[in-house]
Structure 1
Amino acid sequence: MQSYLQYRKIGNAVRRQLGTDQEKTNADIPHSASSREAETPDEDVDPYPAGRVMRSTMGHALNGIQVRDRTTLEGKGGRVFIVGWDGECDPANPHNFSKARRVMTTLIVAAVGFVVGMASSIDSAVLPQAASDFGVSEVAESLATGIYLIGYSVGALFAGPFSETLGRNMIYISTLGLFSIFIMASALAPNFGAQVVFRFLAGFFGSTPLVCAGGSIADMWDPVEKTYGFPIFAIAGFGGPVLGPVIGGYVGVGHIGSWRWTEWISLITAGLVLSLVVLFQPETYAPILLKWKARHLREITGDDRYRGELEITHNTFWTRMKIALSRPFTMLTEPIIILMALYLTVLYIVLFTFLDGYTFIFADIYGISQGLTNTIFVAMFVGMLLATVLVPPLYRHTKKDMASVLAKGGSHIDPEIRLWFAMLGGSMSIPISLFWMGWTDFVSISIWSPIISSAMFGYGVICVFLSAYMYIIDSYEVYAASALAFVTLLRYACAGGMTVVGISFYKNMGTHWTLTILGCISMPLAPIPYIFYKWGYLIRRHSRHAVARK
């Protein structure tokens, strides 16, 4: 609905612009310009010189139109009018949307991330009931969560090229619709094998926000505004996996008797979010909007030379798909990507093994119920919310840094400024919280000790996630989608595998040793943000893909 209204609005804006610039079109045409047009015939335009000159003058007169010769890969000879924005303040440009509209759009994208994240973990809340119903072990049933995450990792490779061809909105709507279908199929699964297949497909189509959300935010927020724009998405989106067990905590053990209601709850939530996307989400991908503008100009003027940049590129969809599927693996030589991917992979392994571990930590040791154990995940989300206190001071710091860059004649801030979220306690909070929980989860020690440590873990995870994502996006710019696709592929594939073995890990090693081992694994990674803050610009200078500022 919003996309259709947006398309109509762009058409009305084009008509107003044509009317405003009509005086330029009616101006006297210099003889040299007329003869130049006559010397470069274009088979796409009016064969009569007067009409050709008149329409060419219109193309030259309109704001935001770049006139240049076609290349051999762009069709036959002659000129093409590349359509751009009508000045820096063009209201159709997503960067010029009102702040309220940009916040609303970001929250809707976050809602998409929340619902697919919630679906990834909500099944863990009813693991015993689902395993009993299908007649399989709890280790086998945990595959319902693990295979969903693996579906995430595979689907992330495909979302980017489609969004760059069809636009963000079309991808959100279509993939969320398909996601809902397979979540419904999971709820109706007659056996364990069907459930696993449907969960994989649900994860595959639910991966869209992992790739497209960063693009949607970059479409609307400038580098300074991204300091608070990205956390709006990340905290809500990251809250999905954490709050999934809370939402499904009492399904199967309370008045809602069937474990299948976890899937129905996911489906209902997905339906509500899909309605929000259809009704209120505008398209934000600039090349698609300019393509719409070019289409209106062709229809109104009858001149086929008006084209959006996306329409004349010689890279076909399948070429972009081939690049998207192969380029992420070229990032294997990038130290920034390798270390950040390793860092986030460890975090996700810890996070999703917590889905298994909370039962051993709280239910087995402290003897509380299954529903209350799942409710304790709220503590981790509270820790994530605490990260918002860092946003105002970091926004002021980023704004000041940008002013300094502009005063020196630059135009971009250095990516290292994004690492402050992780450096302000985020990276150190993770191993500390794991050791804290592992060494204090005894029945003789208050249950509040591991609860508070889980809140500290949530704070650390979201801070590292914010820094890692924004640092990668700013460091790789045009290659950011490929870099994020590789990071997503690695961390979700590993997390999916660890979700399955997590139960055996806790059973064989015990909670104290399991958490201690996870803390020891995460501790050597804690200095990574500080290393990149100190020497990141040197690493970027020797990179094939990263920007080399500073």
Structure 2
Amino acid sequence: MQSYLQNKRLGRFVEGYIQQAQEEVDRRQVEPGLEKGEQARSDARLPAVSIQAPIDNGEGRPGQKPHTIQSSLVRELRGVVEQTRPLADGSTEQILLVDWEGPDDPMCARNWSVSKRALATAQISLIGFAVGATSGIDATIIPQAAKEFGVSQVVESVAIGVYLIGIGTGSLVAGPFSETFGRNAVYVVSMIVFMCWILGTALAPNIAAQIVFRFLAGCSSSTPMVCSGGSVADMWNSLEKTWSFPYYTTLSFVGPMVGSIMGAYIGPSSHVLSWRWAEWVILILSGLVLISVVVTMPETYGPLILEWKAAHYRRTTGDSRFRSEHEIEDSTLFSRLRVSMTRPFLMITEPIIIAMTMYLSVLYIVLFTFLVGWPYIFEHTYGIDQGLAHIIFISMMIGTVSPALLVPFVYKKTAKVIKQAQSQTEGGNKNARFHPEIRLWYGMLGPAVAVPVSLFWMGWTSYSHISIWSPIIASGFFGFGVTGIFICAYMYIIDSYESYSASALTFVALTRYVIAGGMTVVGIPFYENMGTHYTLTILGSISVLLMPIPYLLYFFGHRLREKSKYAVALD
């Protein structure tokens, strides 16, 4: 709805703008000396534009010559450039390329008010929140669902694992759809399909049906999760992303924790509510998010907005030469899908990508095995009930939003670096760039250390004779660490790989979700056989080995980028 209204407003703007431009051309033609020479006589032979009765087909009717507007009018239209475009048969055609009117074009998402962009970013975060909450809430009803289906809890945990694997698998094909149809169309369609699969999960008659529907739900949920990063990039520049990306991340990252909190008492209250209400809650939540997106979410994808603008120019003037870059480029949905499904695997040769993929994979293994291993840390150790144990996820949720405290410091350092890059550009170095390594401060200012410390802390203080508050506080530090590392990894990859960042992030998402999904299945046996103390010690030891990655990349990342085939390098 909001995208439709946005398109209609753009159409009214174009009509009024052409009317003003035509009036300016007419004024100049009646004033002596303003229009002279052959160009003026050529323009006079062309028909003036009338927007009182716009031509709806925009391409001319069969048997009629295409309508063309005056060159003098074209010169009055800011952001419209006459170009000669080669065709496949060797001939050429004249087009009027439609672009932004300038760096301050109000139609460009980056020039919207901060409040409008912040609201749109919050709506995108809600999509990630709903998708993430699904994995969290499903973990709370494992005992009850396993009992009804007559399977072990390990088998029931497969449903959570395949959901994560579905997210990773779907990420391969997610990006091209938003680049073809725009962000909002992808969000709306994906959420509708996601809700259909969640409905199937809620009504699943057996474990096989539940696993299949969960996998399909994961595949459809990956699309809005992958595209959301593109939406954030549509609206915020490099400096603004210093605070807007953490804002987006923290709101969406709390989804699994809030899901666990929402489902805390659904499973244990089986005499009042069926465990299937966990799926109904997600269905209701997703419906509310979908309504919010449809009603209030504007389209942010610049190429699509320019395509709308070109279409309004054609409709208003009847001149079919108006085109946007998005319309004339050779890429199709299928060609984009081919690139999307092959290029990410080329990133396996990139040391930066491999390092960050390993780091995030380990963090996601810990995070999602927590969902199934939580009872062994709190229920079995301290004798509390299932509902109260999942309420403790509040501590991790608080830790997840705490990286916001790092924003002022990182923002100040980023502003300084960007200002230096701009000074170099003004001094003649047109290829000067700011150092992407500045993004690594989000991991270096505590999160990298907080992850292993919190795991060792939780692993070796979760004894019945030690206060339960000790592992609770430790879980908060883990939330702080995993979110900070996620922010620094994603922002560093985006700024380091620029045009290849979508492929790089797809590889990272595919790998970490597939690995985390597989490890979630073995999470229960791991906690049962190894025990809480040794399980968390092993995970903590692995995270110690990965802890230096942000610091090493901060000092040596520029050398890796210089040798990389895909990353940007400083000149």
Query: Same-fold call, TM > 0.5?
Result: yes
Counterpart position of 2:31: none
Q: Which amino acid aligns with 1:20?
A: Q
**1:70 aligned counterpart, secondary structure:** strand
Alignment match of 1:96 (pick from 101, 107, 111) = 111
Which amino acid letter does the alignment assign opposite residue 264 of structure 2? G
Q: Residues 60 and 66 of structure 2 are in contact (CA less than 8 Å); yes or no, is this contact kept in structure 1?
A: no
* Alignment partner of 1:9 is 2:16: no
- Contact 1:210 1:488 (8 Å CA) reproduced: no
* Structure 2 CA distance for partners of 1:48 and 1:140, relative to 1, 3 Å: closer
The CA deviation string for residues 436-476 of structure 1, in whole angstroms up to 9 with x for no partner, is 11111111111111111110000000000000011111111
Counterpart of 1:304 in structure 2 is 320
Query: 1:545: Cα distance to partner?
Result: 1.0
Q: Distance in 2 between matches of 1:88 and 1:402?
A: 18
Contact persistence 1:73–1:314 (CA under 8 A)? no
Q: Secondary structure at the match of 1:346?
A: helix
Matched, 1:202 2:217: yes
Q: Give 3-state SS (helix, strand or coil) of 2:464's partner.
A: coil
Partner of residue 77, structure 1: 92
Match of 2:52 in 1: none
AA paired with 2:382? Y
Q: Please give the secondary structure, in 2, of the residue aligned with 1:253.
A: coil
Amino acid in the other structure paired with 2:188: I
1:442 lines up with 2:475 in the alignment: no
Q: Is the 8 A contact 2:437 2:553 kept in 1?
A: yes
Partners of 1:175 and 1:394 in 2: CA distance: 34
SS in 2 for 1:440: coil
For the 8 Å contact 2:177–2:186, the answer to whether it is kept is yes
Given that residues 458 and 474 in structure 2 are in contact (C-alpha distance below 8 angstroms), is that contact kept between their aligned partners in structure 1? Answer: yes
The residue type paired with residue 38 of structure 2 is H
1:26-57 alpha-carbon deviations (Å, 9 max, x no partner): 45374269889x9xxxxx889999975x4343
Is the alpha carbon distance of 1:273 and 1:280 closer, same or farther for their aligned partners in structure 2, counting shifts above 3 Å?
same
Partner of residue 164, structure 1: 179
Q: Aligned in 2, Cα 1:25/1:382: closer, same or farther, shift over 3 Å?
A: same
Q: Report the counterpart of residue 491 of structure 2 in structure 1.
A: 470
* Structure 1 CA distance for aligned equivalents of residues 536 and 113 of structure 2: 46
Match of 1:334 in 2: 350
Match of 2:314, SS state, is helix
| Equivalent position amino acid for 2:178 in 1 | S
Shift, 1:17, TM fit: 2.1
Q: Does 1:402 align with 2:400?
A: no
What is the Cα deviation at residue 413 of structure 1?
Answer: 2.3
What letter is aligned with 2:144? Answer: Q
Q: Which residue of 2 aligns with 1:455?
A: 476
Equivalent AA in structure 2 for residue 111 of structure 1: L
The Cα shift of 1:228 comes to 1.1
- The TM-score normalised by the length of structure 1 is 0.95
- 1:74–1:314 Cα contact (<8 Å) kept: no
Is 1:360 the counterpart of 2:360 in the alignment?
A: no
**1:32-47 alignment to 2 at 5 Å?**
none
Give the match's secondary structure for 1:142. helix
Say if 1:74 and 1:313, in contact at 8 Å, map to a contact too.
Answer: no
Summarize deviations over 1:162-198 as a string: whole Å, max 9, x none: 0000000000000001101110110000111100111
1:389 aligns with 2:397: no
Greater alpha carbon shift after TM alignment, 288-297 vs 397-406: 397-406
Structure 2 vs 1, CA of residues 48 and 282 (structure 1 numbering), >3 Å: closer, same or farther?
Answer: closer
Q: Helix, strand or coil for the counterpart of 2:497? A: helix
CA distance in 1, matches of 2:204, 2:66: 69
Q: CA RMSD in A?
A: 2.2
Corresponding residue SS for 2:254: helix
Distance 1:32 1:78 in 2: 20
Letter in 2 for 1:542: K
Name which of 207, 212, 232 aligns with 1:192: 207
In structure 2, what is the Cα distance between the partners aligned to 1:205 and 1:512?
37
Q: 1:31 aligns with which of 19, 38, 41?
A: 38
Distance 1:537 1:30, change over 3 A: farther
Q: Are 2:323 and 1:316 equivalent residues in the alignment?
A: no
Count of residue pairs the alignment pairs up: 544
SS in 1 for 2:522: helix
- Residues 220, 284 of structure 1: 8 Å contact kept: yes
Among residues 526, 531, 544, which one is paired with 2:552 in the alignment? 531
Which 10-residue stretch deviates more, 464-473 or 401-410? 401-410
| 1:202-241 superposed matches below 5 A | 202-241=217-256
Deviation at 1:200, TM superposition (A): 0.6
Deviation at 1:396, TM superposition (A): 2.2
Q: 1:49 to 1:451 in 2, by over 3 A?
A: closer
Q: Which of 278, 290, 296 does residue 262 from structure 1 map onto? A: 278
Hey, what's the Cα distance between the residues in 1 that align with 2:260 and 2:118? 27
Q: Which residue of 2 aligns with 1:41?
A: none
Deviations 1:363-415 (A, max 9, x none): 11111110011111111111112211111222222222222221222664221
Partner Cα separation in structure 2 for residue 465 and residue 116 of structure 1: 17
Displacement of 1:252 in angstroms is 2.2
- Structure 1: unaligned runs, 5 residues or longer: 39-43
Partner amino acid, structure 2, of 1:315: S
Answer whether contact 1:120 1:203 (CA < 8 A) is retained: no
Q: Is 2:524 the counterpart of 1:503? A: yes
Contact 1:383–1:457 (Cα < 8 Å) also in 2:
yes
Deviation at 1:58, TM superposition (A): 2.7
Give the Cα separation in 1 of the matches to 2:243 and 2:115: 13
1:292 to 308, 313, 318: 308
One-letter amino acid of the counterpart of residue 67, structure 1: E
* Alpha-carbon distance in 2 for matches of 1:478, 1:225: 19
Q: Which amino acid in 1 is paired with 2:470?
A: S
Structure-2 separation of matches of 1:30 and 1:262: 76
TM-score using structure 2 length: 0.92
Report whether the alignment pairs 1:482 with 2:503. Answer: yes
Task: Please tell me the residue identity of whatever aligns with 1:170.
Answer: A
User: Is the contact between residue 123 and residue 145 of structure 1 (CA under 8 Å) also seen in structure 2?
Assistant: yes
Gaps of 5+ in 2: 29-34, 46-58
Q: Give 1:74 deviation, angstroms.
A: 9.4
Q: How many angstroms apart in 2 are the aligned matches of 1:51 and 1:436?
A: 74
Deviations 1:518-546 (A, max 9, x none): 01111111111111111111111111111
Q: For residue 25 of structure 1, report the CA deviation from its aligned partner.
A: 4.1
CA shift in 2, pair 1:64/1:29, >3 Å: farther
Residue 86 of structure 1 pairs with residue 101 of structure 2: yes
| CA spacing shift, 1:286–1:75, aligned 2, 3 Å | farther
Distance 1:320 1:74 in 2: 24
Which amino acid in the other structure matches residue 468 of structure 1? Answer: A
Distance 1:442 1:25, change over 3 A: same
Equivalence for 1:427: 448
Give the equivalent residue in structure 2 for 1:136. 151
Greater mean deviation of Cα atoms: 63-72 or 14-23: 14-23
Structure 1 residues 519 and 214: CA distance shift in structure 2, 3 A:
same
Provide closer, same or farther for how the CA distance between residues 16 and 510 of structure 1 changes in structure 2, counting only shifts above 3 A: same
The structure 1 residue matched to 2:366, chosen from 327, 341, 350, is 350
